A and B are shown apart, each in its own frame.
Chain A
Amino acid sequence: MVRFQNVGMRYGPGPEVLRDVNFELSAGSFHFLAGPSGAGKTSLLKLLYLAHRPSRGLITMFGQDVSTASRAALPMLRRRIGVVFQDFRLLDHLTALDNVALPLRIAGADEKRTREHVVELLTWVGLGDKLDARPATLSGGEKQRVAIARAVIARPSLLLADEPTGNVDPEMAQRLMYLFVELNKLGTAIVFATHDTHLLQRFRFPVIRLRNGQVSIDRNAA
């Protein structure tokens, strides 16, 4: 579903932050993305959620070469990708419900069904009583769950999560982790960036390890 071949990436004229990256993600897979700060995790995620183009190499997603895809082709590809940003990136003036509904509205979905879906999902993540709350009034864990709900509401084929358990207590982290495992069982491929070695030990999913801009795959078997 996703294939990186000899991918390099740099910001402007700066040095390469990713070098000769090669890996493949199959549909329905679950990968951790780990590595020290500054190793290029966020850059790799940016390539995956199509916020940046590689400076060299070939990236194929959903059967399309995205390194050279036209701007006009990107929205349709992006609608198949859900992203949980490290800093949530919720829109402060919108309610939890409207934030989560955004991907469906952008895709032009029926408004009545959109609302039904969003209410159902927010209830499932334990925010059924916070539909009309704005982000400013939500706790860190609640914002995190709204961000996750927004990432999965449109049933993406690929879900990218940047430290989705970084801002919550260990108990909430575990609950959120189970949420991702559930989604994965429903068929969504997941890339889960984390620093948390406990999670890596507890859930034995393969790990994409980044070190100095280069990637290695660790099967992470017990």
Chain B
Amino acid sequence: MSARTASQRPASDLQLEADGTGRFLPWALAVMVFLAALALAGALALDGSIEGWRRGVSSKLTVQIADRPGEPLAPRIEKALDVLRGIPGVAAAEPLERRAVEALLEPWLGSDALQADLPLPGLIDVTLAGNNALSVDALAARLQAAVPGARIDDPKPWLDRLIQLGRLLQTLGGGIVLLVGLASAAMVIFATRAGLAARRDTIELLHLIGAEDGYIAKQFQRHVARQAIRGGIVGGVIAVLVLLAIQLLASRVGAGLLPGLALAWWHWLALMILPIAAALLAIFTARLTVLGELRAML
């Protein structure tokens, strides 16, 4: 038998580390932290997208000038620009060059159709000044009067719906994190109760020797904390790897089609806090479970 120093103590009087019933807990918590991290990352990434859409709603318009047979496009675009730049509340109005318009259409029409001298509308990108009280309808009417065939594409209605959808998905992500938390707590309760039931005699002995409930609860807390941190780190690391892979794949698909997985540094920080939060939840749950169960003993 090895000699022990004075500072060494047995792991626990209750020998929880030798418990078969608790062996599944780190793995179950790893899965839970992984799922929660994905849901949280999704919700956080939407934050950036929603903010972008929200800015779009209030500050961007597109003016489309339809090609009309017999009327050259360039002077009509110039006219429209003059009208737009003369309106207070319009911060900038820039025409899109034909090549830029072609680039926008190419994924849908293919380069062959574009080469066949397809009549393309002229597009003007309009940026509105902040705090403007400009009515899109009034703007459209003025433009229409000056340049027949000019039309304003107001993205607001569908951006509003997109924002609504984004918020709903964020709520869903938050809900998933909450549910995963509840399921984790339920697992900790189950494992802790099993651990208590298996040690009734020892716990009774500790009580008779003068142990307070807190002394016994602390041993369960320490044990669960170790398991939760182990599981949380595994689940967290796998989640980060998966998120990085998604980011890489999304960036390859190309910007524009997908919102992408734009995570700021503090989003990553929030994800790293997740295993710690899981451990705290597990510790808290184990304590409440032990104290609750012990209250039924003398």
Residues of A whose CB lies within 8 Å of any CB of B are 49-53, 71-72, 74-76, 78-79, 83, 89, 91, 93-95, 98, 102-103, 105-107, 111-112, 115, 132-133, 150, 154
| Those 5 A-B pairs whose CB atoms lie nearest each other, nearest first | A79-B210, A132-B1, A78-B210, A106-B211, A75-B212
**A72-B215 Cα distance, complex, nearest whole Å:** 13
**A150-B208 Cα distance, complex, nearest whole Å:** 12
Identify which of A74, A94, A107, A111 contacts B7 (C-beta below 8 A).
A111
Chain A binder among B9-17, B76-84, B260-268: B9-17
The answer on a CB contact under 8 Å between A111 and B9 is yes
- In the complex with contacts A50-B298, A51-B298, A52-B298, A106-B206 CB distance below 8 A: yes
**A190-B215 Cα distance, complex, nearest whole Å:** 28
**A106-B204 Cα distance, complex, nearest whole Å:** 13
The answer on a CB contact under 8 Å between A78 and B207 is yes
The answer on a CB contact under 8 Å between A106 and B7 is no
Extra inter-chain contacts (12) besides given A78-B208, A89-B201, A103-B209, CB under 8 Å? A49-B208, A75-B210, A75-B212, A78-B209, A83-B209, A94-B10, A94-B13, A105-B9, A106-B206, A106-B210, A115-B6, A150-B209
Q: Is the interface of B mostly helix, strand, loop or mixed?
A: loop
Show 6 A/B contacts (Cβ-Cβ < 8 Å), sorted by A: A52-B298, A74-B207, A89-B205, A91-B13, A102-B206, A103-B210
The answer on a CB contact under 8 Å between B13 and A102 is yes
Instruction: Give the chain A neighbours of B295 by CB distance below 8 A.
Output: 71
Tell me the minimal C-beta distance from A128 to chain B in angstroms: 14
**A104-B200 Cα distance, complex, nearest whole Å:** 21
**A83-B204 Cα distance, complex, nearest whole Å:** 13
Tell me the minimal C-beta distance from B43 to chain A in angstroms: 44
Tell me the minimal C-beta distance from A46 to chain B in angstroms: 10
**A50-B204 Cα distance, complex, nearest whole Å:** 11
The answer on a CB contact under 8 Å between A107 and B18 is no
The answer, yes or no, to whether B4 is at the interface (CB within 8 Å) is yes
Tell me the minimal C-beta distance from A86 to chain B in angstroms: 13
Instruction: Give the chain B neighbours of A75 by CB distance below 8 A.
Output: 207, 210-212
Tell me the minimal C-beta distance from A51 to chain B in angstroms: 6
Instruction: Give the chain A neighbours of B1 by CB distance below 8 A.
Output: 95, 132-133
The answer, yes or no, to whether B251 is at the interface (CB within 8 Å) is no
Tell me the minimal C-beta distance from B71 to chain A in angstroms: 92
**A112-B10 Cα distance, complex, nearest whole Å:** 14
| Most chain B CB atoms below 10 A, which of A51, A75, A83, A98 | A75
Instruction: Give the chain A neighbours of B210 by CB distance below 8 A.
Output: 75-76, 78-79, 103, 106-107, 154
Tell me the minimal C-beta distance from B13 to chain A in angstroms: 6
**A72-B6 Cα distance, complex, nearest whole Å:** 31
